Structure 1
Amino acid sequence: MSSTLKTYDIAIVIDFGTTASGFKILNLNGLEPNPDYTYDYDSGSDSIFYHKYTPKDEKEPSTLQYRIFSNKYYHGREADYQSVATSFFGNYASEIKLWIDGPAKKDLPEMPYNTTLLKLISDYLRVIRKDAHKSTPKMFPTCTDSSRYRYCMAAPTMWSEKSKNIMREAAIIAGFITKYDKPERLLIIDEVVAAALYAEHMSPGIILTNGSLYMVCDAGGGTVDLATFEKDDSPGMNGLKEVTVGAGSSCGSVYLDFRFKGVLQGQGKAIHAQDYKITAFGDYLKPYFDITDAMKECPMLNSPKTTYDSVDFGSNTFDGIPLDEIRINVFDPVVTQVLEMMKKQFAQIGDRNVDAMFITGGFGRSPYLQRRIKDTFGDRINEFKVIGNGHMAVIEGAALFCASPRPIAQRILRRTYGIKICSPDDRSKKDTESEKDKFHVYIRKGEPVKEDTWVTKSMIWKHNTLPIISLYTYDDNDDDQIPEFPTAKDIELVAIFNTRFKLDAKKDNPETMIMKIRFGLDKIEVKVEIADRNFEYITVWDISGEKNTRLYSEPNPPFSVIMKKMFLIEWMAEYFL
C-alpha cells in the first residue's frame, strides 16, 4: 500500500456510522496548506488531519429527511429539526446503517416510502462528498484535481462481502469513485482493525512488546466488534497479528433505545406520545446507567430541574419505572450479547491472558458495560482501558492506517475459500453430481494467514479438461460440515481464472499444475506453476464484487515463446504494411 500513497495527494476517510457520521482529510504528500484557512488539525511529520465535525468534536447524525413531492432532502441536525418542524410534509430516515446487515430488522424504524437502501446511503454519502471536495482545495490550493484523492471507509466485522459491496456501489452513485477506478482507490477495512490501531496509538503508557496480546472491543451505536491481536515487532515489522476470528453482532447502544421503547409499550403507553421520554433516556440515563455508586454522577438524579420537566426523575426510578427493571429488560439482554462474544474470543486464545483490553466506541463509554466486562473477565485482563474520545476511534484509526500503513502480519480468515474446476455457468446434467460440481476447500475459516505466505494446491491439468477454475467463498457458521456439493446459495463467486495455457507439450499430455494463492487484507493474488513455467493473474480485490474472468500473464516466458512472438510481430508487420 505504501507505493499507492505516491499516486494520491489526499486521503478522505469516511465514517458512516449508525447514529452519527463524519469525515477526515489527510495530506499524504506534503502539500502546502493554506495559511489563511481556519480549521482544526493535528500536525504530524507526514500528514495533516483535518476534522470535519460539528462543535464539541461530535459527528453529524446519520439521518435524512425527504420532502414530500420533491427531490430535496436534509441531513444530520437539519434533518432532525425538519422531522419535527415539518413532520407531516416529509419522510424521516435514521439508523440507516442497520439495514445493511442487521438481523433484527423488525426492530428498525420503517424505511421512508418509495425509496431504497442504496438511495438512502448514496444520498447521505453525496453530502459528505460535496463537503469534502469543497473543503479540500480551500485547505490545499494546489490540490484541485480530485483524481488525486483516494478514500477509505471502515466496515463492521460482521458485514458480509455483499454488504461491503453495497457501500462501494453507494460510493460510486455518490460520486466518490467511478466503476472504472482501480478498487484500491476506495479502501474498506474492518472497524475493529481501525479501532485497534487508534487504541494502541492512544495508550503510550501501556507497554506492549513483541508477543503482547490485546483484545479490542469496539462498541458502537449499531454493532459491537471484537478481535484479539498480538504485537509483532519482529525485525522489519511494526505490525499486528490477528490471533482470533473477529466477531461482530448487532448489539450496539441503539438496541437499548429499541428495548426501552418496548418497556414503554408494555405499560400500554403510545410511543408517539413518549418521544420526549425516549430522548431523556438517551441523554440522561443511558450514558450513566449502572447499579453502583456510578449512578451518583447521573445528572437526572442530582438535578431535579432538567430540560425534560415532564419526566419524573426519582432517586431509583425513571418516570416511575424502577431502575432495576430497566436493567433487567433493557441493559442486560444487550450487554449479555457482548459478553457472550467476548467469551468466545477468550476461548480461542486458550489459557492465555490478554495484556490489555481496549474499549472504544460510543457504547464503550457505558459504565454498566465496563463493569460487567471487568466482573466477568477481570482475572484474564492485565490492564483495562477505556479509550478517551473512543467514539472517534474508527475514523482516527482508519486515518492512521492511510497516513502510515502498518502491516497486518497475520490475518485470521473469516471465510472459507474453495475452487470448482469449471465456470459458474458450466453445470452437470440435472439431478446428477460430477467432479465439476465438487467444491474443493482451499483454506478454511479461522486459519491464520500471513501476508507473505502463499497457499498451494496441486492438480492435474489437461488442455481440454481444465480450462477454467472458479474461486468461491463459503460463509456458513457450521464450517466443520462443508458440503462437498454445495448449492448456489451456499457459496459466493469471487473470481474466475482462465487456465488455457499455451504449452509446448502435446494437448493430450497431463501436467501437474500448482496453484498458489495469497490472501491479503482486502485482495487475493494468484500464481500458477506448470511445465516449468510461471503465470500470474491480475489481482482480485475481494471487496469489489468482481465476477469477470481473470486472464493470465507470463512475466518471464521461455526463449521459444519470445521467438514465436517476435516472428508473429514481424509477419504482421510485413503483411499489413
Structure 2
Amino acid sequence: MTEQVSSEAKVVVGLDFGTTFSGFAFAHKAKPTEIYTFYEWPRATKPYCKTLSGIYYEPGDGSTTQIKSWGFPALHEFTKDVHNLQRARQRTADLPPVGVFLVRFKLHLASKDSGESSAARLPPGYNVTKVISDYLREIGASILRHLRTKFNDELTLDQVQWCVTVPSIWDDHAKKQMEVCMMRAGLVRGSQSIIGSPHPLSIVLEPEAASCYCHRNMPDLELKAGDRLLVADIGGGTTDIVVQEWMSETPNDYRVKEVTYSTGGLCGGTYVDEQFNRLLFTRIQCLPQYLQKSSSFMSEIFKRWEEIKCSFGDHGTLGDSFEIQLPGKLAQEWEDYDSEHGLPPRDSYDELELTQSDMQSIFDPVVEQNLGLIADQLSRTSNVKVIFVVGGFAGSPYLMSKIKERFLGQVEKIISPVNPGSAVCQGAVMLALNPAGITSRIARKTYGFEVSRSFKPGDPEDSKYISWVGAEKKCDVNFSAYVRKGDPLDVDHCVSKDFSPLFPGARNMKLMLYSSNETDPKYTQGPGVDSKEEASFTIDITSSSHMQERPTVTVSMFFGRSAIDVKAVGKNFGTGQIQEFQLPVEFTGDWV
C-alpha cells in the first residue's frame, strides 16, 4: 500500500553526488525561479560549488567503525593522521593504524560496459551500499542544516523533495541502488527506511539536467522547433552524452525530446589524474619506497597538480613547462637512485618538470575518448546546432580547445556555461519543477520477459532450456520484447501484454525481465546470447486458484521515464487491484 503524503513538499533539493565532488542546489516551491547553489563547504581551498566525494572512517572493522569526517575535511584529517603516524614511527614501531579513507566509490556503481573503473577495491568489511549511504547521510544532514538557516528552524524532511542525479548510461540496477542508498541514509522513506522524506525520490539524468540549466542560463541561444543540441556532461568519473531536439515554439518553454540513445563512458577528469600518477611513478622510480617512510607531501604534489591541470591549455600557458617542487629528502633519494642504477643524471632533482609533451601525453588519451564519444553521437543524427559542455572537467581549457578544434564547423556553437560544475544540480531542481520538460527518450536497450512457448526447429536443444507441459515440448528461454533498442518512447509510454502460468492451481507467477543490446533478441539464455537478467517479479495470483480456466495477468511496463516501472493486474480474476513494481524487485547482483 502506498503511503499517503500529508502535504506537498515545500523545498526541492537537487543533489549531484559525483565521482570526485558532490554538491547541491535548492529552491522553495513558492519561488521556483530562485534556485540557489551552496558554496560554503568547510576546508575548501577556494569557493566552489562542491565538496570532495570522500569519507574517512575510524580504524576498525568496516561493519562497526564510525565515520570520522567526510568531504574536504576527510582528506585534511587523513593527511594529518598519516603525517603524525609516520613521524611517531620514527620513535616507535608499535602504533595503531590510521583509519580508512575512501574516494571515487561512486564508480563501483558503473556498469562494466562503461569501461575500466579507476575505483580502488573497497577494504574488507566495507561495501558500496554502506559507503555511499554513509556519505549521503552526512551530506544530507548538512543540507538540512543549511535549509533551516535559509527558511526556518522547524523545516523537516517531510517538507523536502529530493532529486538525485545519475549518469544516463547507468543501468537500472545502479539507479535502483542509488535509491536504496538514499533510503538507508534516512533521507527518503521506503522499503529500506521508515524515516526520511515521504515524497518519492526523483531520479534525474545528468545530461538532461545540464541541458535544462544551459537553456535557462543562455537566453541568447535563439533555438527554434526542430533545432538539435548535443549535451556533453564530462565530470570527474563519467562522460554522458545525449542529443536532444527542441520541441517548443516559444523560447521560454523548455521542452525537448531525445534523438538518439545516450552514450558515454568512464573518461572523466579523474582519468587524467590517473595518467599523471602513472607518469609520476614512472619518472621517480624510487617513489614507492620513499612513500613507505613519508607520504604527507603527496597532498601538496596533487594540490599543485590540480592547479596545473586546471590551467593547461589556456593562452597564458601555451608552450610553457610546469614545475612541481619536491621535498629535499625525496630529491636526494631520487638522485642517489639514478646514480646507483646507472641512469643519466638530471639537471635538477628538486622539482618535477612537466613539458608540453608530457602534458599532452597525460591529457590526450582521455580527451580523445571524449572526442570519439561526441563524434559518434554526431554521426547518428543531423542538424545539431550547438554543443553544450558541462561538468567538472569542462573547466579544462585544453579539453575545450580540442572540442572546438574538432567540431566547430560541424555545429554553429560550442558553449561551456559559467560555473559548469553547478549545471547538473541546478538543472535537477529545474526539471523537478518542470517534469514535462522531457517529452520522450530513446530506448538504450531492448527489454522483455522470458516466456515459454511451443518448441520450434532451431530452438536450443539443451535440456535446461526445455520443459514438458503434458505431451507438449516447450522452449523456456524465449525473449518476449516490450520495447526495442533505439525505439522512441514518450514519457510514461506503456506497453501491456498478457501472461498465464504454465500449470493450473498456481498461487504466484514469477516473471524474469531481461535486457539485450540487440534489437531483435530471440532468446534470454544460451551460447552466444547477449541478454542480461535485470529483475524478477513475483505476482500474487492466489485469488485465481479456484478457477477452472487458466488465469491471465496483464503486465504493463512504463518506459520513457528515468527508470522503468511495472504494474500487473488480474484480467479474468480478482478485484482489479494493481500490483506495482519498480526495477529491480529482486536484486541479481551481489552488491547489497
What is the TM-score with the length of structure 2 in the denominator? 0.75
Secondary structure of residue in 1 paired with 2:79: helix
For each residue in 1:280-316, what CA deviation from the matched residue of structure 2 results, as whole angstroms up to 9, or x when unmatched?
Answer: 55333211223x8452498x86xx8x9889899x9xx
Aligned length: 509
Summarize the alignment of residues 247-286 of structure 1 with structure 2, pairs less than 5 Å apart.
247-267=263-283, 268-270=285-287, 272=291, 275=298, 278-280=301-303, 282-286=305-309
Shift in Å, 1:437: 3.2
Shift in Å, 1:137: 3.6
- Alignment partners' CA distance in 1, 2:156 and 2:140: 14
Deviating more after overlay: 213-222 vs 185-194:
185-194
Pair 1:451 & 2:491 matched: yes
Q: Percent identity?
A: 23
- Which residue of structure 2 aligns with residue 196 of structure 1? 211
- Alignment partners' CA distance in 2, 1:189 and 1:508: 44
1:239 equivalent among 232, 255, 267: 255
Shift in Å, 1:359: 0.5
- Which residue of structure 2 aligns with residue 288 of structure 1? 311
Secondary structure of residue in 1 paired with 2:132: helix
- Which residue of structure 2 aligns with residue 411 of structure 1? 441
Shift in Å, 1:100: 2.4
For each residue in 1:194-217, what CA deviation from the matched residue of structure 2 results, as whole angstroms up to 9, or x when unmatched?
Answer: 111111111111111111100000
Q: Which amino acid aligns with 1:132?
A: I
Q: Given the superposition, is the C-alpha separation of residues 50 and 214 from structure 1 closer, same or farther in structure 2, using an over 3 Å criterion?
A: closer
2:107–2:118 Cα contact (<8 Å) kept:
no
Pair 1:320 & 2:353 matched: yes
For each residue in 1:342-365, what CA deviation from the matched residue of structure 2 results, as whole angstroms up to 9, or x when unmatched?
Answer: 12211221xx13111101011012
- Alignment partners' CA distance in 2, 1:308 and 1:337: 32
- Which residue of structure 2 aligns with residue 369 of structure 1? 399
Shift in Å, 1:384: 1.1
For each residue in 1:236-259, what CA deviation from the matched residue of structure 2 results, as whole angstroms up to 9, or x when unmatched?
Answer: 974210011111211111111111
2:220 equivalent among 205, 210, 223: 205
2:478 equivalent among 415, 438, 443: 438
- Alignment partners' CA distance in 1, 2:380 and 2:203: 26
Summarize the alignment of residues 90-105 of structure 1 with structure 2, pairs less than 5 Å apart.
90-101=99-110, 103=112
Deviating more after overlay: 516-525 vs 441-450:
516-525
- Which residue of structure 2 aligns with residue 356 of structure 1? 386
Pair 1:173 & 2:184 matched: yes
- Alignment partners' CA distance in 1, 2:68 and 2:300: 27
1:439–1:485 Cα contact (<8 Å) kept:
yes
Q: Which amino acid aligns with 2:20?
A: T
Q: Given the superposition, is the C-alpha separation of residues 72 and 418 from structure 1 closer, same or farther in structure 2, using an over 3 Å criterion?
A: closer
- Which residue of structure 2 aligns with residue 518 of structure 1? 558
Deviating more after overlay: 442-451 vs 369-378:
369-378
Q: Which amino acid aligns with 1:165?
A: K
1:146 equivalent among 157, 160, 163: 157
Q: Given the superposition, is the C-alpha separation of residues 536 and 238 from structure 1 closer, same or farther in structure 2, using an over 3 Å criterion?
A: farther
Q: Which amino acid aligns with 1:285?
A: I
- Which residue of structure 2 aligns with residue 562 of structure 1? none
- Alignment partners' CA distance in 2, 1:508 and 1:90: 64
Q: Which amino acid aligns with 1:289?
A: F
2:555–2:566 Cα contact (<8 Å) kept:
no
- Alignment partners' CA distance in 2, 1:283 and 1:529: 59
1:11–1:27 Cα contact (<8 Å) kept:
yes
Pair 1:75 & 2:70 matched: yes
1:126 equivalent among 118, 137, 141: 137
Pair 1:345 & 2:345 matched: no
Q: Which amino acid aligns with 1:97?
A: K
Pair 1:495 & 2:537 matched: yes
Deviating more after overlay: 66-75 vs 45-54:
45-54
Instruction: Extract unaligned runs of 5+ from structure 1.
Output: 31-43, 423-427, 549-577
- Which residue of structure 2 aligns with residue 51 of structure 1? 38
Q: Given the superposition, is the C-alpha separation of residues 284 and 122 from structure 1 closer, same or farther in structure 2, using an over 3 Å criterion?
A: same
2:55 equivalent among 31, 39, 64: 64
Secondary structure of residue in 2 paired with 1:419: strand
Secondary structure of residue in 2 paired with 1:111: coil
Q: Given the superposition, is the C-alpha separation of residues 211 and 14 from structure 1 closer, same or farther in structure 2, using an over 3 Å criterion?
A: same
Q: Which amino acid aligns with 1:62?
A: S
- Alignment partners' CA distance in 1, 2:38 and 2:450: 47
- Which residue of structure 2 aligns with residue 383 of structure 1? 413
Deviating more after overlay: 519-528 vs 204-213:
519-528
Q: Which amino acid aligns with 1:228?
A: V
